[in-house]
Chains A and B, each alone.
Chain A
C-alpha cells in the first residue's frame, strides 16, 4: 500500500523520501523524561499492543538471510507460503548482511518486524524504531526457553521488546583441501594468517572487532579483557592493531553471504569467519569446506523478533512472529540456518533428532562460552567502574580506520 502511494505522488514523493532519508529523524537525546536503562540510555515511552486486530493483508519483514524462506531460494525450503494462506498476510522479505544495515533499514519505518541481533536491539529501542511487545499475544511464548527471555538485549527495565528467535555461534570455516592441518584456533586468521596469505576473509562490520578481542582474551591475558564488548582504550587499540595486521592477509571482507559462498567455492578465500548456514550452502554446492568452533570460544548471536513502532501491519507482524517461533517452523529455521531454536518444543520437530543436542539448545554451559553480539557502550559491560569503555561510535571509527588503512 505504501509503495502504491509513492507511485501516485511520483517525483514529489520520491524527493520527500530522499529528503527523509537524508535528514533521518532527529534523536530525542535531550529529553530526560523517558526511562533510563543501563549506560544512561534513554528509552522513548511507547506502548505495546493490547490486542490483535484484523490482519492487514501484508507484513514487511526485515530478516537475516536464511530466517524467512518462501521457497524462492530453494523450493524445498519454504515456511512462509502456508502462513500466507492461513493468516491472510502476504509476507514481503528484505534480507540484510549486518546489524548496521538492519538498523538503517528499520529506521525508514517501512518494515513491520525485524530479526535483530544483540548489537542492534538496544540501538533500535533507544531510537524509538521498535516498540515493546505484548508477549501474551504470542501463543508460543510460554514454550520459549526461559533462559532467553527478558535478557539485557531484549528487554529494558523489565519491559519485553521482542520475542527470542534462536541463538548460535560464529564459526571458523576453512577449505579442507587447502588448509592443513585443520585449524582449531582463531589464530589461523590472526597470528598465523600468513599461512593463507591473501586468502583470509573477515566479516565486514565494526562488531568484528569483538572477534579480535575474544582472541586476545585467550592469547594476551595481560590485557585483562573480560568481555569482548567491554574494551577500554588500550584494549581496543590492541584489537585494532591485530585487525590491521590481519588485513595484510585478507582477500576480501564479506557481509553478503552468497559472495562468501562463491569465494570459498572458487578458493579465493580459504579460511575465515562464517555462519553455519553459509557452510551448509557451500557444502550443498560441493565446496570442500568445514566449519568449526575454535577452542577460544566464539562470538555469536541471540536474535530477537521486534515490532516496528511505525508499523501499519502490527497484527500481521504479531501473527508472523508467532508463526516463526512455533515449534515446527522454529525447528525448520534452526536446522536450515544452523542454530539452536528458541522454542523448546522445536527440539522434537527437527528432522535430525540430535539437532538440539548438536547445537546445544539447552546447554547454558556451552553458551557461556559464546559471546552474543552486544552494543558496546561507555559504561563497561563487564562491570568495571574505574575506566570508561569505548562505545560503538568509537568502534565504528576504529573499523573505518582499519578498512581504509
Chain B
C-alpha cells in the first residue's frame, strides 16, 4: 500500500505537469482559435466562429505554411549532409583522444545563448560582414541567411544521435560485409545507412520541429521574411484567435511528422 502511495507521489507531479501544462496549454490554444476579436480593442470575444481556420486556406497563409515547411526541410537536409560525415569521422576515423575533443567542440556551442549565436550570424551576413569579406558575397538578410543560421543552431542535435549510431555499429558488421565481397559503397548503402536511419530520423525531429517553430532567428536574420512563427507573433497582439489557429497548424504538422517518424522505429531510439 505504502509502496503504491510512494509511486503515486513520484509520478503524480510530472504527470500533472504533462497533462495540465502541456496538454492543457494546447487545448486552450485550440479552443481560442474558435473565438473572434473585438474590432476596436482587439480583445478576444467568445463568439464561436470557424473563420480563423477558413482564413488559413487563403493563398497568403498557404504560402507561409509552404515556405516554413521548405525551410524546415532544407535545414534538416543540410544538417544530415553535414552531420553524417562529421559523425563518421568522429566515431570511426579520429583517434580516441581527438574524439572527446571533437565531441566537446560540437557540444560547446549549445552552452552559448541562442540569441548571441543568432546575432553573431546577423553581423556575419551583413554587408561588409565576415561572409562578404571572405567570399565576396553574402546572402543578405532573408531566406538564405535564415537557413544557414538555423542549420548552424540545430546541427548538434543531429550530430549527437548519428554519432551514437556510428559508435554502436559493430566493426564486425562492416568486416563481414567486406568479407562477403561488398564494395565500400555497397557496405555504406546496405549496412551503414539502415543502421543510421533511426538516428537520423530522431535527429530530424529536433531540427525539423525547432525550425518549424522558430520566430526569433527569423526576426534577426530573416529580413522581411514571414514564416509561421512570425505570423503567430504578429497576430498575438492583433488577433489572438487567429494566432491560435496558426499555432494549431504547426502543432498538427509536428503530429503528422512524428507519426511518420514512428514508422521508421526511430522513437525507440530516443
List residues of A whose CB falls within 8 A of some B CB. 11-12, 14-15, 18-19, 22-27, 29, 41, 98, 100-101, 103-104, 107, 122-123, 126-127, 198, 206, 247, 250-253, 256, 259, 262, 266-268, 375, 377, 391-393, 396, 400-401, 403-405
Please indicate which of the listed interface residues B122, B128, B219, B238 has the most CB atoms of chain A within 10 Å of its own CB: B238
Pairwise interchain contact B223-A251, C-beta atoms closer than 8 A: yes
B14-56 contact mask (Cβ, 8 Å, vs A): 1 or 0: 0011001100110011011000011111111110000000000
B contact residues around A252 at 8 Å (CB): 141, 222-224
Pairwise interchain contact B28-A22, C-beta atoms closer than 8 A: yes
Pairwise interchain contact A403-B238, C-beta atoms closer than 8 A: no
A contact residues around B60 at 8 Å (CB): 401, 404-405
Residue B133 CB within 8 A of the other chain = no
Pairwise interchain contact A400-B224, C-beta atoms closer than 8 A: no
Indicate whether A24 sits within 8 Å of B239 (C-beta atoms), given known contacts A198-B140, A252-B223: no
Q: Which 3 A-B pairs have the closest CB atoms?
A: A393-B39, A24-B44, A100-B237
Q: Which of B31, B45, B237 contacts A101, CB < 8 Å? A: B237
Indicate whether A266 sits within 8 Å of B24 (C-beta atoms), given known contacts A24-B43, A123-B40, A393-B39: no
Pairwise interchain contact A251-B128, C-beta atoms closer than 8 A: no
Pairwise interchain contact B25-A41, C-beta atoms closer than 8 A: no
Q: How many angstroms from the CA of A101 to the CA of B45 in the assembled complex?
A: 19
Q: How many angstroms from the CA of A62 to the CA of B126 in the assembled complex?
A: 32
Pairwise interchain contact A23-B32, C-beta atoms closer than 8 A: yes
Q: How many angstroms from the CA of A250 to the CA of B226 in the assembled complex?
A: 13
With A23-B46, A251-B141 already in contact, 13 other A-B pairs whose C-beta atoms are closer than 8 Å: A11-B16, A12-B20, A22-B244, A23-B44, A27-B44, A41-B40, A100-B42, A103-B41, A104-B236, A262-B122, A266-B129, A401-B60, A403-B224
Q: How many angstroms from the CA of A377 to the CA of B64 in the assembled complex?
A: 30
Q: How many angstroms from the CA of A311 to the CA of B21 in the assembled complex?
A: 27
Pairwise interchain contact B41-A127, C-beta atoms closer than 8 A: yes
Pairwise interchain contact B224-A251, C-beta atoms closer than 8 A: yes
Please indicate which of the listed interface residues A101, A247, A266 has the most CB atoms of chain B within 10 Å of its own CB: A266
Q: How many angstroms from the CA of A353 to the CA of B126 in the assembled complex?
A: 40
Pairwise interchain contact A268-B24, C-beta atoms closer than 8 A: no
A contact residues around B41 at 8 Å (CB): 27, 103, 123, 126-127
B contact residues around A123 at 8 Å (CB): 40-42
A contact residues around B20 at 8 Å (CB): 11-12, 15
A contact residues around B240 at 8 Å (CB): 22, 24
B contact residues around A404 at 8 Å (CB): 60-61, 63-64, 226, 231
A272, chain B: closest CB distance, angstroms: 12
A84, chain B: closest CB distance, angstroms: 29
Q: How many angstroms from the CA of A23 to the CA of B29 in the assembled complex?
A: 9
Residue B264 CB within 8 A of the other chain = no
A48, chain B: closest CB distance, angstroms: 21
Pairwise interchain contact B44-A26, C-beta atoms closer than 8 A: yes
Q: How many angstroms from the CA of A375 to the CA of B220 in the assembled complex?
A: 29
Q: Which of B32, B40, B61, B238 contacts A206, CB < 8 Å? A: B238
Residue B213 CB within 8 A of the other chain = no
Closest to A252 in B: B223
Pairwise interchain contact A393-B141, C-beta atoms closer than 8 A: no
A contact residues around B29 at 8 Å (CB): 22
Q: How many angstroms from the CA of A122 to the CA of B40 in the assembled complex?
A: 9
Indicate whether A268 sits within 8 Å of B127 (C-beta atoms), given known contacts A15-B20, A22-B28, A198-B140: yes
Q: How many angstroms from the CA of A385 to the CA of B222 in the assembled complex?
A: 43
B residues 108-136 near A (Cβ < 8 Å) are 122-123, 126-129
A179, chain B: closest CB distance, angstroms: 14
Q: How many angstroms from the CA of A235 to the CA of B213 in the assembled complex?
A: 36
Q: How many angstroms from the CA of A23 to the CA of B219 in the assembled complex?
A: 27
Pairwise interchain contact A267-B126, C-beta atoms closer than 8 A: yes
Closest to A395 in B: B238
Indicate whether A19 sits within 8 Å of B21 (C-beta atoms), given known contacts A24-B240, A400-B238: no
B contact residues around A18 at 8 Å (CB): 21, 24-25, 28
Pairwise interchain contact A26-B127, C-beta atoms closer than 8 A: no
Please indicate which of the listed interface residues B17, B60, B127, B128 has the most CB atoms of chain A within 10 Å of its own CB: B127
B contact residues around A122 at 8 Å (CB): 40
Please indicate which of the listed interface residues A22, A126, A404 has the most CB atoms of chain B within 10 Å of its own CB: A22
Would you give 15 A-B contacts (Cβ < 8 Å), ordered by A?
Answer: A15-B20, A22-B28, A23-B32, A23-B44, A24-B43, A25-B43, A26-B45, A29-B38, A100-B237, A123-B42, A256-B219, A268-B127, A391-B39, A392-B42, A401-B60
Pairwise interchain contact A15-B25, C-beta atoms closer than 8 A: yes
Q: How many angstroms from the CA of A25 to the CA of B31 in the assembled complex?
A: 15
Q: How many angstroms from the CA of A391 to the CA of B129 in the assembled complex?
A: 43
A contact residues around B37 at 8 Å (CB): 393
Pairwise interchain contact B128-A266, C-beta atoms closer than 8 A: yes
Q: Which of A14, A253, A267, A403 contacts B128, CB < 8 Å? A: A267
Pairwise interchain contact B39-A266, C-beta atoms closer than 8 A: no
Closest to B67 in A: A404
Closest to B223 in A: A252
Closest to B33 in A: A22
Q: How many angstroms from the CA of A206 to the CA of B17 in the assembled complex?
A: 38
Closest to B29 in A: A22
A349, chain B: closest CB distance, angstroms: 36
Pairwise interchain contact B40-A391, C-beta atoms closer than 8 A: yes
B residues 213-234 near A (Cβ < 8 Å) are 219-220, 222-224, 226, 231, 234
Please indicate which of the listed interface residues B60, B236, B237, B244 has the most CB atoms of chain A within 10 Å of its own CB: B237
A contact residues around B236 at 8 Å (CB): 104
